[in-house]
A and B are shown apart, each in its own frame.
Chain A
């Protein structure tokens, strides 16, 4: 059993999820509350990663973050190394790849909060930040948890992007899904089965925790 890959996968999924919440909550708040004419375009762009095949997305990232673009050179100066073939590169790829899985449920959650509550908060002098933290977030806990669980499991099962920009480096970019793929390619089906089982267990556990939470909340909220 490749415990190093398991730990790496969990670390990648957790980092990605936290970053996506930090990024997705303000973005979803903006999407849910703005009347700006370019809102549909921003919403479309955040949804696009669902459409792109992961390997294609990975290829674009490889080129875009490589040393032949200004962005790639900037990143290399900041991090001291190019993003491809590194843990931070995988994090960047996973964040882009799972962005819709954070933004969609969060936006839907914020939009489902009664407008009258937000208006009352405004009348009582609450800032936008306070409206978000004291009204919208507590009333969309389900959406936040659902978004986080989706991001986590989606990243755990991510393959195409990692295959394209990872470089299969143990401890840095060799995730569980890559290990399974390598094992299948080497005809080690028994080992692949074990790893796949582990992957399924990790994801199933995350989902079970999510649904347990939901049932509990449902009971307390009547």
Chain B
């Protein structure tokens, strides 16, 4: 290739790249609501977002991560408009860092912890006091240090005086979705997972669950905040209102997240 042709080829490649970057940027700014969402919302949020778009005409997109990861990203300036956490402590950190509009996280739902097992896992009776028995060798929980459902599972075991006895059986997943994966793939016999995961078609078909008694763990109140100074702040407020609507709360309940009130 001659020098001149190489030069033109390089120039057009540059122009092409520029067009892509421009398009990507404008799509981002184009009235899209960007939501940082906790991993337990993955099974249900996409449906809600479609419904919200029908009602308001606002297009919304969500990134799913553990609440801790999202908190770090937001504090470090990730361009989100709204943070839907799986608890209240992580949004509080964002507030403390001065990145939130609210002074307090807005609770939008209450999570439910369940004990789930595959139908073919060889667990005779699924019950909390059966965890001690020799039939159960591995129990998956989310990391109690930074995953709200893991924290709930740990305090349940503590309150029932099971924690020390069961510690050798515990395998710790990075987040509650991965705990479900451990149990669903059969590598762990039972798993403490979110009701939202247990109600997905796949897990419903593969296994069964019991609800962990609500009084055995501090309630998993899920809080939201609007990110200060974000371009989509008004859209974010509208989505928060949408979340509080009775019919939306009904949908959340059907998917495994109970109303706050």
**Which residues of chain A have a CB within 8 Å of any CB of chain B?**
59, 62-63, 65-68, 81-82, 84-85, 163-165, 167-169, 181-182, 184-187
Contacts and interface: CB of A to CB of B under 8 A. Distances in A.
Interface in B86-116: 93
Chain A binding surface SS class: loop
29 contacts: A62-B182, A62-B185, A62-B187, A67-B187, A68-B185, A81-B137, A82-B187, A84-B171, A84-B187, A85-B138, A85-B171, A163-B174, A164-B178, A165-B187, A167-B172, A167-B173, A167-B182, A167-B188, A168-B173, A168-B174, A181-B174, A184-B72, A185-B68, A185-B143, A185-B145, A186-B68, A186-B145, A187-B68, A187-B72
B95 to A, nearest CB: 14
Given A62-B187, A185-B69, 7 more contacts: A82-B187, A84-B171, A84-B188, A85-B138, A167-B172, A167-B182, A169-B171
Category for how many chain B residues contact A: 20 to 34
Interface in B61-96: 66, 68-69, 72, 93
Q: In the complex, which of the residues B69, B93, B140, B172 has the most CB atoms of chain A within 10 Å of its own CB atom?
A: B172
B181 interface: yes
B186 A186 contact: no
B187 A182 contact: no
B146 A185 contact: yes
A182 B145 contact: yes
Contacts of A167: 140, 171-173, 182, 188
Contacts of A187: 68, 72, 93
Given A185-B143, A186-B68, A68 B186 contact: yes
Contact of B185 (A63, A163, A181, A185): A63
5 closest A-B pairs by beta carbon, nearest first, are A167-B171, A168-B172, A84-B187, A185-B146, A185-B68
